[in-house]
Amino acid sequence: MKRCQTYDKDNISQALVDTLKPIINSEEYEDGKLANASKAAHGLAKWVRAMVQYDDAMKVVKPKQAELKVAKDSAAEAQASLDKAMEGLAKIEA
């Protein structure tokens, strides 16, 4: 349980995800069958499925986060340039 709670979900290897996908999509991995077999197995299966779904989602989110960082950096540079220009304008008007 502790290993699941502290698992580094942001660094799941692609090979592991590729190995897990056919397993979690198989008939034997259905919630009903696992719940009948064992509550622990069912809980662990739900966690594994969630980790794979998280990895899939992060493949979309991470590039967008990188784009956002670039946009924020660009906006900060533009704001600094504007502040400098406004400062110069204020001096001229004074």
Which pLDDT score is estimated for 94?
85
Which pLDDT score is estimated for 28?
87
In angstroms, the CA 79 to CA 37 distance is 60
Query: Any idea what DSSP says for residue 26?
Result: S
Which pLDDT score is estimated for 72?
97
pTM recorded for the entire structure: 0.69
Residue boundaries of the structural domains of the chain:
2-93
Sequence length of the chain is: 94
Which pLDDT score is estimated for 23?
93
